Structure 1
Amino acid sequence: MLAALMLPGVVVAGGGSAVPRGNTIAAIVSNDPNFSTLLSAVQAAGLVDTLNSAGPFTVFAPTNAAFAKVPAADLNALLNDRERLRALLLYHVVPGRVTAAQVTGLSSAKTANGANLSIRTSGNMVMINDATVTRADIRASNGIIHVVDTVLMP
């Protein structure tokens, strides 16, 4: 799967990425205004095709509010460094379809960039590193999305 994650994004005239259609992870992210910063990052990193491909993937998706916690200068630098951005985004992706019920039984998960995420649960709260899962089990045709309130830093 890691090789699949290295595919370039679809680029159309004008320099933008193609808008995904259907019920893929990429389509869900592109159609939800709460993920507009994530979508911009995925496009800048050339990962649209990956999140539109067969998968399956589990994505811990930071909202715009999560990205807003990152200092503006750091976020701009990241968005302009494709390799660092790809590594960061792939840190939010776990190979396979991992539901909320499965996540609560884990203490860690290996990400698509090769690093591990720490997983803790307390009652109904699930923490991925220092991020809280605010919405779980958004089902896509090629995986599942869990929304997090903080950008995960490798």
Structure 2
Amino acid sequence: MSKILKLVSTFLIVGVFATACAQDAKMAKKPMPAEKDIVATAVDAGQFNTLVAALKAAGLVETLQSPGPFTVFAPTDDAFAKLPAGTVENLLKPENKEKLVQVLTYHVVSGNVPASAVVGKMVDATSVEGSTIMINGMDGVMLNGSAKVVAADVMASNGVIHVIDTVILPPSK
């Protein structure tokens, strides 16, 4: 009788273990929610120092730490370096805060827009700034014909970041 109990116990343990492993496999397929907001994610990435400094100067850090969701087309430090000499320094001056806010909010769309929503399509998105961003998802993803999305779907707790290689500028009003 003891051998039968051991055999039954072994089958039960193996069954429970197999069920737990199967559940772990299902959980592994589900994307885990991001723990950090857009600003913290950008800071941790280490390639958005200029963007973060600009967000601070514009007073937009708290906004991008709020629940959102937001979609941010985030220019890298190299993207900011492509601007004409002195542009960033000039935008960071307190007297140019309004223009800085305009430029930065042009890189933000309200809502959570994954790359899969634009792949294979030509779409327009309205930025938080109010102007339209032309998105070409036909061959990779390009914004306004000049900025390439070089990394998509960087998830944050309050939205998604798409890394771009060029700063996009809103149309002059």
TM-score normalized by the length of structure 2: 0.74
Q: Is the aligned partner of 1:128 residue 2:143?
A: yes
- Aligned pairs for 1:4-153 (under 5 A) are 22-80=35-93, 81-104=96-119, 105-123=121-139, 125-129=140-144, 130-153=146-169
CA drift at 1:121? 2.3
CA drift at 1:48? 0.5
After superposition, the C-alpha distances for 1:16-67 in whole angstroms (9 at most, x for unaligned) are xxxxxx5100111122210001000000000110111000000000000000
TM-score normalized by the length of structure 1: 0.82
Q: Which consecutive residues of structure 2, in runs of 5 or more, have no partner in the other structure?
A: 1-34
CA drift at 1:76? 1.3
After superposition, the C-alpha distances for 1:87-111 in whole angstroms (9 at most, x for unaligned) are 1000000000000001324511000
Q: Judging by fraction of residues, say which structure has more helix.
A: 2
* Identity percentage of aligned residues: 48
Asked if the contact 2:122–2:138 (Cα under 8 Å) also holds between the matched residues in 1, the reply is: no
| C-alpha separation in 2, matches of 1:97 and 1:48 | 18
Q: The residue matched to 1:71 in structure 2 has which SS? A: coil
| C-alpha separation in 2, matches of 1:115 and 1:55 | 19
How many correspondences in the alignment?
Answer: 132
Q: Which consecutive residues of structure 1, in runs of 5 or more, have no partner in the other structure?
A: 1-21
- More deviation in 106-115 or 134-143? 106-115
CA RMSD in angstroms comes to: 1.1
| C-alpha separation in 1, matches of 2:155 and 2:62 | 18
